[in-house]
Structure 1
Amino acid sequence: MAFAAVSPVAPKLVQKLGLEKTLLIAVVGLAVGILVRSLPLPGIIWVGTACIGVSIAVLNVSLPVMVKRDFPARIGSMTGIYSAVQGGFAAMAAGIALPLASASDTGWRFSLGVWAVLAVVTALLLVPQARTSTVGGGSGNLPQRRKAINPWRSSLSWQIAAFMGVQSLFFYTLLAWLSPIEQSFGISAETAGFHQFLFNLGSLFGSLLCTALLPKTHSIRPLMLFMLALWIVSLLGLLFFPELAVIPAFTGGLSCGTFFVLALSLFGLRTRHHVNAGALSGMGQSVGYIIAAAGPLAIGALHDATDSWSLALWLLVVLGLIEVVLGVMVSRDRYID
């Protein structure tokens, strides 16, 4: 929800402060939030978590702007690289969280707080760039007033936002419920946990695969439709062949990782100027994460109402078919500006 609330504000910060300064402030905010969340004070965990959410939201919106500005001919590959790095570090953090907690008398506080070090290192790397940051997000060929657009009034923007939201819903829903779904089919908790790891690993591979393929294709549509078909087949596999859940767990993650890179790439691919890429990124991620936040809650409520995961999985299949239609729309070679 922090992503949804803050994303529309982030482009305004970029315009007022400059891209590099905005990134620096967000990374410093991230370090502060991580440290505050780990303090042994009652209720402070909520303050730190809110600070983390706001900071990551600003970073999420600003990074596609930097890619559009600095790598306009390599939007897909650069987006895939940084999203793959994100996924890799997330997987590493999850994997060593328990050993780190066990190695310190402060337990989880040290395990979570130690990541502030990486944020501080990143902030130090950004300082020299922030000194030369220009208002408006960087250089541009035309005056700012002639380039700025309002993405909230564009039908293409809404299609991209819906695509962003549904693909995020897919990821967060399986991230939350894949293990309980598998356990309801008789799979052990240990095996289901391993399958959750494979889902995350598949997501990382999907990011890398998309990074490798996008520069070699003239259209994102074939890759998008193939991965959407793979997603639907993965859900049907969970429904009809739960004993083979190891396969749809990995292929589901593979498709989700690809969707994420494609969705982020659209912010740059469907705009001609990096300022408008920022505006579209803010709008798309705001709407998208509202949809994404509702997904796990709605699927969980549907399970509670029916005492079964079957209807919830069929709903995800239907959403997959809707995403196919959205994918066809957003993969057309059009621009919001």
Structure 2
Amino acid sequence: MTQPSPTRSSVVQSSGFFLFLVLLTAANLRTPITATGPILDNIRATFGLSAAAAGVLNFIPLMLFAAIAPIASWLGNRIGLEKSLWSAVCLIALGSVLRILPAESGLWLGTIILSTGIAASNVLLPPLIKRDFTQHTAKYIGLYASTMAITASIASGIAVPLASLGNIGWQLSVGVWAIPALIAAVVWLPLVKKARTPRPLNAMTDGARLKSPWRSALGWQVSLFMALQSMVFYTLIDWFTPFAQSHGFSQASAGWLLFVYQAVAIIANLGCMSALKRMKDQRLIGFIASLAISIGLAGLLFAPAIALLWLIIAGLGAGASMVICLSLFNLRAVDHRQAAQLSGMAQCVGYGIAALGPLIFGIIHQYSGNWTFPLALLLACHLFQLILAPLAGRARQIG
């Protein structure tokens, strides 16, 4: 059995409760985003949003993921991971409620607030796992990623059917996901009350010698690996539905195809989790995952009629890539403080670049009048992940 960290609250003395808490939090980190894509046209119709405004609505979460990441990393090391995570979950709950208000301002403000909470949670969960259950890092990261994939796929799959129920409309599709956020905020309370304030980093001799990931080539390799896999994922989430509709699929069918894309990631999450335990480094598995995404994109480009096949392949690569990214935050760091720094940097750089994917993809589609050129450009950009995978996957630490 893994012994609890001496800095951990006495409330969590078993790995069972800790795992439950991690998975409950993870269930809130993709659903507010993936539930929006399939019903974006419904939201546009309600508020009369232009295509450009809809693009900004998709752009906001990823840009906040990037902007908030370094702040969340600093805050976690300053006031503690538990308090920071509880605050983040509260923001997700608040933003989810605001987003379903009848005023357009609620949509924008709610999106900003919940995106801030998701951004902070994304950064802080991996170092929490490294601090308290170092020997189970791969297991917990894999289950954490699987939970995000399961809930994200469900949110995509049921978004259109929920929007068709009764007279509530799309508000039901996005509002239902406020419930798990509210539950998570309550479950976090015992940890927040018992949590200890961490000692300042400059009071720790070992911590003072740790190299900043921002000054490390390895830190940049991990960050860019994160960027490219995220760019493809969010571009497909945002634009696959209109792409599929232009090739003869219905809106509901496109929603379920996105469900499959994210659901197969669960298999990859669990398989990658097992593989990481047995491998001395992550070079091979990172390359295979990256290759699968490239094959999926190429298939959508040249044979969109069998999109289901290509989304399955790309989904397997996306699921494995996410587990690898989350694991690298811990594997390339010396301790949980440096893991928080690397997580903050990788998600700042990663989501900052990833945010440009859906935005530029949409602009190019608008001006080219077709899907071929933007999809080909997305594939060309993603090929760089094949180069980065062996570099970021080397069994080294930043120092």
TM-score by length of 1: 0.90
| 3-state SS, counterpart of residue 135 of structure 1 | coil
1:82 and 2:137 equivalent? no
- For residue 274 of structure 2, the aligned residue among 212, 215, 235 is 212
Mean Cα deviation higher: 320-329 or 126-135: 126-135
Deviates further, 4-13 or 225-234: 225-234
Structure 1 pair 105/230, CA: closer, same or farther in 2 (3 Å)?
closer
Deviation at 1:329, TM superposition (A): 0.8
Equivalent positions of 1:143-158 (< 5 A) are 143=205, 145-146=207-208, 148-158=210-220
Alignment of 1:225-244 (within 5 A): 225-244=287-306
Match status 1:170 vs 2:225:
no
Aligned partners of 1:105 and 1:232: how far apart in 2? 41
SS in 1 for 2:383: helix
Aligned twin of 1:53? 115
Of 237, 243, 263, 2:325 maps to: 263
The CA deviation string for residues 195-230 of structure 1, in whole angstroms up to 9 with x for no partner, is: 333212223332232223222322211211112222
Selected match of 2:249 from 168, 188, 192: 188
Which ranges of structure 2 fall in alignment gaps of 5 or more residues? 1-62
Query: What amino acid does structure 1 have at the position aligned with 2:81?
Result: L
Choose 274-283 or 297-306, whichever is displaced more.
297-306
- Give matches, 1:126-165, under 5 Å: 126-136=188-198, 143=205, 145-146=207-208, 148-165=210-227
Q: CA deviation at 1:122?
A: 1.4
Whether contact under 8 Å (1:137, 1:275) holds in the other structure is no
State the aligned residue count.
335
Amino acid aligned to 1:8: P
1:136–1:144: 8 Å Cα contact kept in structure 2?
no
Structure 1 residues 1-337: aligned runs within 5 Å: 1-98=63-160, 100-101=162-163, 106-136=168-198, 143=205, 145-146=207-208, 148-184=210-246, 186-189=247-250, 191-337=253-399
Q: In the TM superposition, what whole-angstrom CA distance separates every residue of 1:36-60 from its partner, at most 9, and x where no partner exists?
A: 2223345122222111011111100
Cα displacement (A) at 1:312? 2.6
Please give the per-residue CA displacement for 1:76-130, whole angstroms capped at 9, x wherever unaligned.
3211211111121222233444555555654444443343332222122211112
C-alpha contact 2:266 2:319 (8 A) present in aligned 1: yes
Cα distance, 1:110–1:243 mapped onto 2, change above 3 Å: closer
Instruction: Give the unaligned 5+ runs of structure 1.
Output: none
Q: Give me the whole-angstrom Cα distance separating, in 2, the residues matched to 1:100 and 1:322.
A: 39
Contact 1:34 1:112 in 2 (8 A): yes
State the distance in 2 between where 1:106 and 1:296 align. 29
Matched to 1:188, the amino acid is F
- Structure 2 vs 1, CA of residues 138 and 194 (structure 1 numbering), >3 Å: closer, same or farther? farther
Could you tell me how far 1:25 is from its partner in structure 2? Answer: 1.1
Cα distance in 2, alignment partners of residues 98 and 181 from structure 1: 17
| Residue identity (%) | 37
Q: 1:247 to 1:33 in 2, by over 3 A?
A: same
Amino acid in structure 2 at the alignment position of 1:262 = I
Q: Which amino acid in structure 2 is aligned with residue 19 of structure 1?
A: L
8 Å contact kept, 1:225–1:327: yes
Task: Report if aligned partners of 1:74, 1:215 keep a CA contact under 8 Å in 2.
Answer: no
Q: Distance in 2 between matches of 1:104 and 1:193?
A: 19
Aligned residues of 1:19 and 1:138 also touching (Cα < 8 A): no
Note if contact 2:157-2:256 (Cα within 8 Å) is conserved in structure 1: no
